[in-house]
Amino acid sequence: MFLAAIMVLSVVAMSAALTGGVAASHAGSSYDVVVQENENPRVWDGQTIRFDFTSSGTYTVIAPDGSDLGDFDTDSSGNHTLDSSSLSATGEYQVEDSNGATVTNFTLTTQSLSASFDGSINTGQNTTLTIDTNRAENFTVVASSDDADVSTVFGDQNITNVKGGLGTSTDIAATTAGLSAGTYNFTFEAHDADATANATLTVESGADADATFGTQSYTTVVGDEMSFDVQTLGSPDEVWLNITDDEGYYTATVLLNNTDYSDDDTLSLTWNTHQASNDTGGMLGLSATDADVNVVNAEGAAVDAPSLLNRSATYTFESFVQDPMGSGEFRDVASVRVNARSNGPVTVWTAPGSTDYANLNATELVGASTQDNTVANEDLLVLQVETNGVYGYMADDLGNFNTTGGLNLTLTETNVGPYSDGSTVYVNDIAGNASLYKQPDAGQFLVAIDTGEVAGISAGSSWDAEFSIDESNPYVDSTTASTASLSVEERSLEITGNFSDDTLQLANAEDATVTAETNVAPGTAVNVRMNFPFQFVTASGEVADDGTFSAAVNLSSFEAGTQFDTRVSVGSMSQTVDSVITAGPGAPPASFSVSANAPSEVESGEQAQLGYSFTNDGESSGTVEYTVTVNGEEVDSGTADLDAGASTSPMVYEFDTSSAGNVSWTVSTQHDSASGTLVVADGGDDDTSGDTSGDTSGDTSGDTSGDTSDDTTGDSDDSDDSDGDGGGQPGFGLVVALFALIGAALLALRRQN
């Protein structure tokens, strides 16, 4: 089939035999799986593949047996689609580029699919369709039938969330409402792969009225309650239940009458195992929303609490539409497993103090919370308690929490002195500033506490949160408890970012970023206000999960150097810092030039100095990195932070002139350099030395004693401005000039002699 497709395309397009061979795809159509470079995804036979490469070009598909299946060209975005139905063999395929290099792989797999109904049923009854497949991820099965309306039987033609895999199958509810007795054939197809299954449903004529359970197996925990449905056919006026335990000690017959089918044909019931163990209200713990419950006969205890402390029990529920103690015929059966209770951990969460927790449900509260054993004062403290076997009798409000069934939830202070036990907070005492959320199906309950409103819970305190069940509870034989530790901190906020001299630096850019760190709960609202002369700029956001905050602000209209205040607020807490606009990313970068001088010639023994400084000639601040070398040896180096247009203080290096010769020097930055050579001449005979000594003494005393002291005093403050960390000396300018003049005078005098 695949080679035939190649031949057809070759004839029609008049192209080379290989080019376009695997291009027999659904160009422009949707796709089922994306294959990118350097991957090896599984592709189910029949799926449409979309190749998504980083560049366009011609690529070759290599079959699992190594044969060349042909080429395809991607579009300008590097994309190409291929119908995997055109690939004849399963296994691993390679995709190579025009150079023969492997770009990616994919593995073609045949999907298995089978379907079967759960036996024959009577008209109007529900049944189950079981789908088995080797495909483990969710996919959609499209149902069809020439005999029945599949939308009525399954609720929709498209059956979603089907998955299988090793030891896994998917059960789909099916109803025969509207179907007469007969045989119905159905076809099921994977929506994106070449996988098909057939199943036959046999519907038989049954009684005019029927009552069946929603499922054949239920599980609950002693002390909890269990909900179940009885689905009826023919709207029977009465539905009967027989209930027995696996030990044979308990038998009861229950009548459901005054049934209400105005909403649907289903009766919804609840079995409260705690009430069953106490026979509360004489209803064996049973209640219904659309029928009256009548206990016709009961022998033994419905739930024997002591016997369920450390073991499970099984109960059998049978349904009838007529009195089973008379001529009523059995209709359906369900098994109910009642397990022993257990405790799980206590987990500490926090949520923003502004959360309207009193008007949230449990799911919404969890979504607003973050797990953290450290809570900022005035934020919400949320305690998650994993436990079961308590929801059949737990109070609906915290005010009555500790008065029911031996349940206790307390906060005990731990960071106290050696002679104090610490204060204890009982949740029933703070009900006005806390809320209870029960989630029986999840096996947990939540308590939200407003730390800012509860006396005794203050910043700097540490606590143990303990949930316990004492021996007064019928489902425990000794006190059991779970504990978690937590601490309450003072709320904190710190503006972060690029600071210079305690001033926040923000670029004149469209996306200048204001950042901060805080210990308040993630999700807390944060506001930013910048106070410019005659103008305000604002931004807002929320605290991230890691306690940071970031907001982009458009500051592109402000010139570099503009000063202003930045204030970040979290509720009543705020921080304000001095701020300044700096050149944005579009400004010319920093550029560092060198200014250096030194004498060109001295005699041996004379003083000679190299003076140097650095200037930022760019329009952005930056760090200069400089190096000074003499005769190829590094004698000074360092760094200095310079704003645009700023210069370092002058620095000096003293040459060694003890011997004649040439001394080369270089001063360089990352952008500029200066260099030169100092010639040290031989000092000559003894007479010359004597004359020089005499003359130098006279001139030096006359010139340097007055000028040098004044100049040095005037320039000394500049030495503190140097940012260099090498061996240079600041404040050299006038001193070097003076020494240079003295040296020139002495040299001229010597030449006259």
Same domain, 598 and 732: yes
> Which of 35-44, 357-366, 543-552, 682-691 has the least mean pLDDT?
682-691
Q: How many domains does the chain have?
A: 6
Residue where one domain finishes, among candidates 89, 109, 129: 109
Cα 523 versus chain centre, distance:
13
- In 554-650, the DSSP E strands lie at 563-570, 573-582, 592-597, 601-603, 609-616, 622-630, 633-642
Q: What is the pLDDT of residues 285-302, one digit of tens each?
A: 899 999 999 999 888 766
pLDDT for the residue 1: 36
Q: What is the pLDDT of residues 541-586, one digit of tens each?
A: 999 999 999 999 999 999 888 999 999 999 999 999 999 998 776 6
Mean pLDDT of 606-613: 95
Residue 698 pLDDT > 70, yes or no?
A: no
Q: Any bridge partners for residue 371, and if so which?
A: 349
Instruction: For residue 29, name the pLDDT band (cuts at 50, 70, 90).
Output: low
Residue 58 carries which side chain, given as an amino acid letter? T
User: Is 540 part of any domain?
Assistant: yes
Residue 625 pLDDT > 80, yes or no?
A: yes
Count of CB atoms situated within 10 Å of the CB of 89: 13
**CA-to-CA distance for 256 and 259, rounded, in angstroms?**
7
Residue 501 carries which side chain, given as an amino acid letter? D
Q: Classify residue 720 as exposed, middle or buried by CB count within 10 Å of its CB (0-12, 13-18, 19+).
A: exposed
Strands 374-376 and 480-489: parallel
Sign of CA dihedral 23, 29, 35, 40: negative
- Going by C-beta distance under 8 Å and a sequence separation of 6 or more, which residues neighbour residue 717? none
Same domain, 406 and 390: yes
For the ranges 118-122, 532-536, 683-687, the maximum mean pLDDT occurs at 532-536
Residue 516 pLDDT > 90, yes or no?
A: yes
Same domain, 275 and 227: yes
pLDDT for the residue 434: 95
Give the range of the structural domain holding residue 71, as residue numbers without chain letter.
2-109
pLDDT for the residue 22: 44
Q: What is the pLDDT of residues 401-443, one digit of tens each?
A: 887 889 999 999 998 877 677 789 999 999 999 999 999 999 9
Q: Classify residue 326 as exposed, middle or buried by CB count within 10 Å of its CB (0-12, 13-18, 19+).
A: exposed
pLDDT for the residue 731: 42
Radius of gyration of the chain (CA): 44
For the chain, the maximum distance between any two Cα atoms, rounded to a whole number of angstroms, is 150
Residue 747 pLDDT > 50, yes or no?
A: no
Residue pointed to by tokens 């059956």:
159
Same domain, 179 and 265: no
| Tokens describing residue 334 | 């369900």
Sign of CA dihedral 328, 334, 339, 341: negative
| Tokens describing residue 442 | 């999840």
Instruction: For residue 600, name the pLDDT band (cuts at 50, 70, 90).
Output: very high
Instruction: For residue 235, name the pLDDT band (cuts at 50, 70, 90).
Output: confident
Q: What is the DSSP letter of 362?
A: H
Per residue in 622-642, is it b (16+ CB within 10 Å) or e — as a string?
A: bebebbbbbeeeebbbbebeb
pLDDT for the residue 207: 56
Q: Any bridge partners for residue 514, and if so which?
A: 551
User: Is 587 part of any domain?
Assistant: no
Percent of the chain with pLDDT over 70: 83
Same domain, 367 and 436: yes
User: Is 41 part of any domain?
Assistant: yes
| Tokens describing residue 254 | 């229950």
Residue pointed to by tokens 């006190």:
479
pLDDT for the residue 306: 67
> Which of 155-159, 376-380, 638-642, 715-719 has the least mean pLDDT?
715-719
Instruction: For residue 720, name the pLDDT band (cuts at 50, 70, 90).
Output: very low
Report the CATH number at residue 363. 2.60.40
Q: Any bridge partners for residue 267, and if so which?
A: 230
DSSP codes joined into one string, 192-211:
SSS-EEEEEEEEE---S-EE
Same domain, 662 and 697: yes
Residue where one domain finishes, among candidates 70, 91, 109: 109
